[in-house]
Amino acid sequence: MKNKKIKIKPIRVKSTFIIFSLVFLLLSIQLFRRMVLQGEFLGNKAEQQFLNEAKISPKRGSILDRNGRELAVSGDVYKVNLDLLAMQEYCVRYNETKEQVSEEISGALGMDNDKVLSMLDKTDNNGRLLRGMTLERKIEKDKIDKLKEVRKTKKYNFMIIENDSTRLYPNNNFLAHALGIVDLEGEGVFGLEKYYDKELMGVAGIRIAELDKNASELPYEDVVYTEAINGKDVILSVDESIQYIAQTVADKALKDTKAKGVTIIVTNPKNGEVLAMVNKPDFNLNDPRMGIVDNEKLQQLWRNKAVNDVFEPGSTFKITTISAALEEKVTFLNDDFYCKGFTVVNGTKVNCWKPEGHGSEKLIDILENSCNPGFMELGRRLGQERLNKYIYDFGFGKPAGIDLTGEAAGIIKPTDQMTALDLATISFGQTDAASPIQILAALNTIMNDGVYSTPHLMKEVVGVDKNGGTSVSKPYEEKNQRQVISKDTANTVAKMLEETVSKGSGKQAYVEGLGIAGKTGTAQKANIGGKGYVEGKFISSFIGAAPYDNPKVSVFVSIDEPEGEHFGGIIASPVAKELFQQIFNQMGINPLKE
């Protein structure tokens, strides 16, 4: 029998070839998509499954006073993260329920079991269990030691324990508004903590280790470790002893006057260094919310009125007008003035604070008596353009540049919009608005031979190495220093301000032998959102420096809405007197021997 030849039809061969070709093409496309188009994504995803990456938090730098006393420090604590997917796999592998896991964790940390249990099912927006959920932060070492024992015994490798830090303020409400606070992430929220956040924060480190299928570290693999760089320390110009005096005096003033608030600033007038800054009422930095739920009330409590708020300064502003008038030679020491209790400007009667008037006066008299008509005359002689020039040169109408967050610029009437009536009222301290720090900086300019210096709190930023050694990485640099008035004019005004305290409206601030130069102020509170002023609401203030011919300290005092008497010479001057006496006693300085 002859073998039959099997005939393969060409159509079948072609069909088979086409099918295999299509399959090969599809496989090639999938391989290309997986290896090329999605290679990086899938590689990273796979890497995440067998790598444990832990962030190493740096230690936030400290904030210290000028003598190295700690005002804000960081304590070492811990935080716990959970890989919930790995926890789910663990429960399946070891036949354990999440309720049992929750009891173990809550028992070690002293947390509420229901709270822990409610967090073990958390998912992302795609419904996937979270791989790095933060369970708790700011945990003390003794609790972490218990948790580490549980992790070791139970093989809870889905728990990730990381270093964390907490911010501590050893003196509670000390320098509260200036220091500011940090949030849970250790980032500054306001104040110096916010302003110097970059220097204080440091740079986070990282630790990467390979894991096996049970999420345990492989002992034979190298661990990638980048050490955290701790933050730098910020050394302030603030003197803890002077700050304590200022706070004590402010507390007493708040109680005695039954006022809404008290603000005190103490500086070195020669270089703008802030030695103390107080706002009362204040708050405990270790419990900054103080149980307050209302956010608006909280923001008001945290508001640093020394730099964030502005008000019409009243007669303390007259130091600017008289300095400008002397510098421009539109007046002189033996100049004559007459006050009849008011001045009529373009048909509007503008009163002096003394209804019957002061009568005949010399230049020193209008300053000592704080005579409004006398200063309106100086303003008229200067004119809008020249007066505004000096107002801006003295630092009003723009942020002073102090190293604190939220500084107010103030409100200055533009020259081209200033009427004759505006000129009159601005000359004696109404219409324009300024912050306390701007007013004190203007006085400092006069007390520093006519040279403006920026008020500031940072003295230097210091780096600290592993061995505790320090090195200055950034000293304070003055950027806005300028000659505003001549030395002769400045010294003349300084002597006049000394006579204003020893003989005039500021005499309740007078202390024998200290040579205090100063000016009082009584400002009506403007009607916010409306016109005019609020009936019966005043801010009483005093600015001064001592000794007038070689100043060591300058002070600003304001009493917001005191009950009863409201004149600055009666309310604020005695507070300044007490400040000067205690500060000079603390400094051990006898001005007469300097």
User: Would you please indicate which residues are annotated as catalytic (active-site) residues?
Assistant: 315
In 3D space, the residue among 242, 238, 271 whose CA is nearest the CA of residue 455 turns out to be: 271
Q: How far is CA 55 from the centre of its chain?
A: 27
In the chain, what are the helix, strand and coil shares in percent, each to the nearest 5?
40, 25, 35
Q: Taking a C-beta distance cutoff of 8 angstroms, is the pair 266, 543 a contact?
A: no
Q: Taking a C-beta distance cutoff of 8 angstroms, is the pair 579, 508 a contact?
A: no
Between the CA of residue 304 and those of 130, 392, 430, 439, what are the distances in Å?
41, 23, 23, 15
Query: Angle between the 98-109 and 141-154 helix axes, to the nearest 10 degrees?
Result: 150
Q: Taking a C-beta distance cutoff of 8 angstroms, is the pair 541, 586 a contact?
A: no
Total count of residues recorded for the chain: 594
Q: Taking a C-beta distance cutoff of 8 angstroms, is the pair 367, 416 a contact?
A: no
Extract long-range pairs of 8-11: CB within 8 Å, 24+ residues apart. Answer: none
> Residue 124 region, left (φ>0) first, then alpha (ψ -120 to 50), else beta?
beta
Look up residue 564 and give its DSSP letter: S
Question: In 51-123, where does DSSP find H-type helix?
Answer: 84-94, 98-109, 113-119
C-alpha atoms less than 13 angstroms from C-alpha of 232 in its C-beta half-sphere: 18
Tell me the one-letter amino acid at 360: S
Q: How far is CA 136 from the centre of its chain?
A: 28
Q: Taking a C-beta distance cutoff of 8 angstroms, is the pair 344, 552 a contact?
A: no
Q: Taking a C-beta distance cutoff of 8 angstroms, is the pair 326, 492 a contact?
A: yes
d(CA 242, CA 107): 48
In 3D space, the residue among 209, 192, 190 whose CA is nearest the CA of residue 200 turns out to be: 192
**CA geometry: angle 107, 146, 162, nearest 5 deg:** 105
